[in-house]
């Protein structure tokens, strides 16, 4: 399993393949997990998800951003998407990776970019989530978040359960809208739990803590039915209303379960990545769960 994972991670980091795939359109089953390559086709995808009673958070795919021109281009694309979502009156908000808009190029430049995004979103009270990347990005992302919170109330972030200090972060941001996740990056044992049982336990602890201790809306982002059903039972036992939390899943994953949760009366938000830079995102999903290879097989056999 580790070898397969490493192969797909290796493929996701290959710049030549990333560049080539931008010219191709969505291939190898990527259509099932990427909302669209452009703004207008992605809006159609968002609209059909909204029609099924689910909200959306959209993620502008962009890899290998290494200079200010590229970062500005990505920021402008995010702004354009926000404006079109506002014009169409869709229920959707952006999830932004700060590395894409200059976090590792110039922090002040990045701060100004995200400020501009928040200002445009705020016109319709649209929320903006700061996605959390690897450990190197965590501290500077939180510094920027804390600065933004002095001026904006439409911003939140992600807390990754695999860190030993996740509970401390949850307490600090207890009144904020946050997305709780297990954590997607490879971090050392000096910083983060390594095995699934420990990560799952930490995840459920922070879910309980955020639901109970603060006033912030809780987004629980996972495909793990055990965690989801445990959360539902916990919320019921504590009389926590369903409008205080939602579940989030990636576009194209466990669609039947997404629909079932909506039918049962729970809020569901679908994370929709979009853009021509789909290749690395798609390879990472294959690395995470090699069973997703059936998306590739199906697309090859039906095309």
Which spans of this chain sit near ligand FAD (rule: CB under 6 A)? 131-132, 158, 160, 181-185, 221-224, 248-250, 253-254, 271, 288-289
Consult the annotation and say whether 97 binds a ligand: yes
Q: How far is the CB of 32 from ligand FAD (least distance, A)?
A: 11
Nearer residue to ligand FAD within complex by CB, 83 or 221: 221
Active site residue 256: no
Nearer residue to ligand FAD within complex by CB, 152 or 253: 253
Q: How far apart, in whole angstroms, are the C-alpha atoms of residue 303 and residue 299?
A: 6
Nearer residue to ligand FAD within complex by CB, 102 or 131: 131
Q: How far is the CB of 69 from ligand FAD (least distance, A)?
A: 25
Q: How far is the CB of 248 from ligand FAD (least distance, A)?
A: 4
Q: How far is the CB of 207 from ligand FAD (least distance, A)?
A: 11
Q: How far is the CB of 9 from ligand FAD (least distance, A)?
A: 13
274, β-bridge pairs: 60
Q: How far apart, in whole angstroms, are the C-alpha atoms of residue 257 and residue 75?
A: 33
Consult the annotation and say whether 182 binds a ligand: yes
Consult the annotation and say whether 168 binds a ligand: no
Supply the DSSP symbol for 31.
G
- φ/ψ region of 80 (left if φ > 0, alpha if ψ in -120 to 50, else beta) reads alpha
Yes or no: say if 138 and 166 are a contact pair by the CB < 8 Å rule.
Answer: no
Residue 183 — φ and ψ, nearest 5°? 115, 130
Q: How far is the CB of 270 from ligand FAD (least distance, A)?
A: 8
Nearer residue to ligand FAD within complex by CB, 22 or 104: 104
Residues contacting residue 61 through CB under 8 Å, at least 6 positions apart: 34, 273, 274, 275, 276, 277, 278, 280, 281
Consult the annotation and say whether 225 binds a ligand: no
DSSP state letters, 110-147: HHHHHHHHHHHHHTTT--EEE----HHHHHHHHHHHHH
3-class secondary structure, 227: helix
> Which one is catalytic: 59, 169, 179, 200?
179
Q: Pick from 63, 81, 55: which is nearest to 221 by CA?
A: 55
Nearer residue to ligand FAD within complex by CB, 22 or 184: 184
Active site residue 165: no
Q: Pick from 248, 294, 277: which is nearest to 36 by CA?
A: 277
Residues contacting residue 29 through CB under 8 Å, at least 6 positions apart: 282, 295, 296, 297, 298, 299, 300
Nearer residue to ligand FAD within complex by CB, 21 or 231: 231
Consult the annotation and say whether 190 binds a ligand: no
Consult the annotation and say whether 80 binds a ligand: no
3-class secondary structure, 192: strand
Consult the annotation and say whether 184 binds a ligand: yes
> Which one is catalytic: 59, 131, 200, 277?
131
Q: Could you tell me which residues are annotated as the binding site for substrate? A: 97, 284-285
Q: Could you tell me which residues are annotated as the binding site? A: 97, 132, 160, 182-184, 196, 222-223, 284-285
Q: Could you tell me which residues are annotated as the binding site for FAD? A: 132, 160, 182-184, 196, 222-223
- Give the residue numbers marked as catalytic: 131, 179
């Amino acid at each position: 399993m580790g070898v397969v994972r490493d192969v797909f991670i290796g493929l996701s980091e290959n710049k030549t393949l990333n560049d080539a795939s931008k010219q191709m359109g969505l291939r190898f089953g990527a259509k099932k997990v990427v909302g669209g390559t452009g703004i207008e086709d992605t809006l159609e995808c968002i609209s059909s998800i909204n029609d099924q009673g689910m909200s959306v958070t959209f993620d502008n795919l962009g890899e290998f951003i290494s200079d200010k021109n590229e970062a500005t281009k990505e920021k402008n694309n995010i702004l354009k998407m926000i404006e079109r979502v506002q014009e169409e009156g869709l229920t959707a908000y952006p999830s932004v990776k700060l590395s894409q808009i200059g976090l590792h190029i110039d922090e002040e430049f990045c701060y100004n970019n995200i400020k501009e995004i928040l200002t445009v979103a705020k016109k319709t009270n649209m929320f903006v989530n700061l996605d959390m990347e690897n450990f190197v990005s965590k501290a500077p992302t939180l510094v920027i978040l804390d600065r933004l919170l002095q001026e904006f109330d439409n911003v939140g972030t992600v807390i990754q359960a695999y860190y030993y200090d996740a509970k401390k972060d949850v307490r600090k941001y207890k009144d904020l809208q946050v997305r709780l996740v297990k954590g997607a990056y490879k971090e050392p044992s000096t910083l983060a739990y390594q095995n699934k049982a420990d990560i799952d336990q930490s995840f459920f602890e922070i879910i309980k803590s955020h639901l109970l201790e603060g006033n912030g809306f809780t987004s629980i982002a996972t495909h793990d039915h055990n965690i989801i059903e445990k959360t539902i039972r916990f919320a019921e036992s504590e009389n926590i209303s369903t409008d205080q939390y939602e579940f989030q899943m990636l576009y194209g994953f466990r669609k039947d379960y997404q629909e079932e949760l909506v039918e049962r009366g729970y809020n569901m938000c679908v994370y929709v990545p979009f853009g021509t830079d789909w290749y690395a995102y798609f390879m990472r999903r294959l690395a995470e769960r090699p069973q997703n290879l059936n998306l590739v097989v199906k697309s090859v056999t039906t095309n």
